Amino acid sequence: MALRPRVRRLISKHGNPIPRSLDSLVRQGEEAPLEKTGMASEQVESIWRATRKLYRGGMSPAVSLCLRRHGEIMLNRSIGFADPDSQRVMTPNTPVCLFSASKVVAAMMVHHLVEQGQLDLDDPVTRYLPQYGQNGKGRTTIRQLLTHQAGIPRPQEPVSPDILFRPQEIFDILCAAKPTTLNTQAYHAVTAGFIVGRIVEAVTGEDLNTTLDRVVRKPMGMKYFTFGGTGPERALDVSTGVPFKLVDLFLNHAVGGSIDEVVEVSNDDRFQDIIVPAGNLYATAEEASRFFQMLLNEGRYDGQQIFQPETVARALEPAYHRPRFDRSLMLPLNFSNGFMLGNRGMGMFGPGAPKAFGHLGFISIYCWADPQRDLSGALLTTGKGVIGPHLPSLFGLQHTINRHTRLR
């Protein structure tokens, strides 16, 4: 059905100009021979056509997609501009902010400490951060932080997103907060991450990035995969989509800021100088896919045991037997100890992916693995639009990936 002229004008005004020919904006990284991936050329190209269709929707200035199957890179391509103003072309080697997909990386640092016998998920947070026990939070556990049941989904006082540049102030506010939804699932967009990061610091005596470097980034040979710490080579985020007051009200409720406010903070150079455990890990799509491939391999990558198999299994244990209605995002979700989990029907990682695990990032970033398809992947986008013509294309891309990668 054709869009009405007024809606088409709205989308055009708040979208990204798309050139007639896309070939000059496409970059391709290293891809394995198709026979190693178990894929036919037409299947891979069908997935890439669906990706180009997503880009043509005009809601994201840049898209980068890396998919691994049977442990081999079957597709590693990008399209668009990493910086629309300077028209710097996006490449597969351009780091992108993963936003909330950062949560799984911070969570795995906690699981590493469990593996080392340095903490337990059912330990009270106050064992490591005594000041957190104010106002009835003395029995809150680390597990509750990881499963979004800690009762602090957002600061109780109005704060602006630029409070992220003042992490000690955030920590003090969260320590003083009274839990509102304890033992009830309510997505903690940013808050729990700061407490998780402080726990890692308290146990190790080093900041989260130092632990990440030691445990994952250096052993796996990654250039980026770090909280902040990138330079001008990073992709910039852009506020797109059709503006609706209701959308901004919902985002303020769920993540504590409007799209424009979040984009302004993420593009600020100061965002590179701080650690936001729940929201500012930078990686290329290939690096994110590599991380999830390691988890799919039960913690093993390139001959190294990054995490023990039982550690990965513990991280993926469902918090509940079935999805629960989330009080923040207002939809049924299934979490594990740090991850979003797939569903049999239409879930976070497309249709028919009940064993998939990973995490979404603000707003259409997907990092995941699916053992039923022997697949790991990362779809990174820089457009931050909720409402727009990209939604059918996004669901279409998920469906195309899942359809072509089913194991026979």
The residue ranges of every structural domain in the chain are: 8-105+213-404
CB neighbours of residue 102 within 10 Å: 25
Instruction: Please state, in angstroms and as integers, the Cα–Cα distance from residue 344 to each residue in 37, 69, 314, 338, following that order.
Output: 25, 21, 21, 20
Residue 13 or 292, more confident:
292
Q: Which of 55-59, 262-266, 387-391 has the lowest mean pLDDT?
A: 387-391
Query: 358 with 367: CB under 8 angstroms?
Result: yes
DSSP assignment letter at 4 = P
CATH 3.40.710.10 matches 8-105+213-404: yes
191: tokens are 């808050």
Instruction: Please state, in angstroms and as integers, the Cα–Cα distance from residue 379 to each residue in 67, 231, 238, 263, 268, following that order.
Output: 9, 21, 16, 18, 23
d(CA 67, CA 81): 21
Q: Is 137 exposed, middle or buried (0-12, 13-18, 19+ CB in 10 A)?
A: buried
Query: 394 with 321: CB under 8 angstroms?
Result: no
Q: In 177-308, where does DSSP find H-type helix?
A: 191-204, 208-212, 245-255, 259-267, 285-296
How does residue 362 score in pLDDT terms, banded at 50, 70 and 90?
confident
pTM: 0.92
If you count them, how many residues does the chain have?
A: 408
What pLDDT does 15 receive? 59
Q: Which of 141-145, 153-157, 262-266, 287-291 has the lowest mean pLDDT?
A: 153-157
What pLDDT does 244 receive? 56
Give residue-wise pLDDT tens across range 100-150.
Answer: 999 999 999 999 999 999 999 999 999 999 999 999 999 999 999 999 999
SS3 143: helix
Give residue-wise pLDDT tens across range 220-251.
Answer: 999 999 999 999 999 999 988 666 565 566 56
Q: Is 274 exposed, middle or buried (0-12, 13-18, 19+ CB in 10 A)?
A: middle
Query: 29 with 77: CB under 8 angstroms?
Result: yes
